[in-house]
């Protein structure tokens, strides 16, 4: 199982772009990279998923370099409501894939 | 299309008791996973069910057990409750064979063991 490493916490200001990087040196060929967002006392919410290069949706962008050993979640123009814990996971979703959450990155947006 | 629901929202039990938590999967999803999340920690994988059979288990003792029903809803049972079992229990549904590990989480059940 590929292990992920993320910064424990980050602070930013409203209107800024925030980039959270995740390291996954042992990522397997079939693994996808998935990011979740979690607010206090709520279940995690899927943000974005990718395999290589760049993926963009209405919420975020995900940048994955060619070696896939890391990925960067980019949140454009954050607001106070983006204050949450962000988790990076890798896996292939197959029959024996156990979803492993680390401690995530606690993002605090300041006014 | 309804999302993942869990019941009850909150629950208080005493040490040694047994508890059953329930989860209804998102429509069309055939796989359900359960997680335990202690305060300030990431969710810890308990086990996963697919086609009514346990398919993968995390580092949890046998007193944590589960069921998945033909309609893909699920139960988590915990026997002989301990104080350390106090946590948020999350259920997530997904589609086996889907891309990567996109899971849809319910709001969780907050269990307090006194």
Q: How far is CA A79 from CA A14, A18, A20, A36, B3, in A?
A: 5, 10, 15, 17, 26
CA distance A49 to A68: 13
CB contact under 8 A, B58 and A98: yes
pLDDT grade for B1, boundaries at 50, 70 and 90: low
Q: Is B48 on the interface with A (CB under 8 A)?
A: yes
On the question of pLDDT at B100 being above 80, the answer is no
pLDDT grade for B71, boundaries at 50, 70 and 90: confident
What's the pLDDT at A72? 97
CB contact under 8 A, A92 and B42: no
Rg of the Cα trace of chain B?
Answer: 13
Contact assessment for residue A61 and residue A33, using Cβ atoms and an 8 Å cutoff? no
CB contact under 8 A, B110 and A42: no
Q: Which residue of B has its CA nearest to A32?
A: B100
What's the pLDDT at A100? 80
| Residue A51: closest CA among A32, A65, A70 | A32
Alpha carbon of A42: minimum distance to chain B alpha carbons (Å): 5
Tens digits of pLDDT across chain A (111 residues)? 558 999 999 999 999 999 999 999 999 898 899 999 999 889 999 999 999 999 999 999 999 999 999 999 999 999 999 999 999 998 876 656 667 888 899 999 999
What's the pLDDT at B81? 98
What's the pLDDT at B30? 87
What's the pLDDT at B101? 67
């Amino acid at each position: 199982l590929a292990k992920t490493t993320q910064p424990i916490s980050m602070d930013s200001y409203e209107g800024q772009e925030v980039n959270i990087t995740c390291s996954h040196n042992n990522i397997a060929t079939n693994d996808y990279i998935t990011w979740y967002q979690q607010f206090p006392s709520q279940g995690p919410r899927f943000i974005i998923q990718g395999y290589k290069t760049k993926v963009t949706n209405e919420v975020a962008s995900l940048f994955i370099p060619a070696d896939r050993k890391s990925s960067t979640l980019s949140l454009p123009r954050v607001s106070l409501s983006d204050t949450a814990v962000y988790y990076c996971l890798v896996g292939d979703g197959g029959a024996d894939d156990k979803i492993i959450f680390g401690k995530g990155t606690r993002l605090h947006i300041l006014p | 299309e309804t999302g993942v629901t869990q019941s009850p929202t909150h629950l208080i039990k005493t040490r040694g008791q047994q508890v059953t938590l329930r989860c209804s999967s998102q429509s069309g999803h055939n796989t359900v996973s359960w997680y335990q999340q202690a305060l300030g920690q990431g969710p810890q994988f308990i086990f996963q069910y697919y086609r009514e059979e346990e398919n993968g288990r995390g580092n949890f003792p046998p007193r944590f057990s589960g069921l998945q029903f033909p309609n893909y809803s699920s139960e988590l049972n915990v026997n002989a409750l301990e104080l350390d079992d106090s946590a948020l229990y999350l259920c997530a549904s997904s589609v086996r064979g889907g891309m990567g590990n996109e899971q849809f989480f319910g709001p969780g059940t907050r269990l307090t063991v006194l």
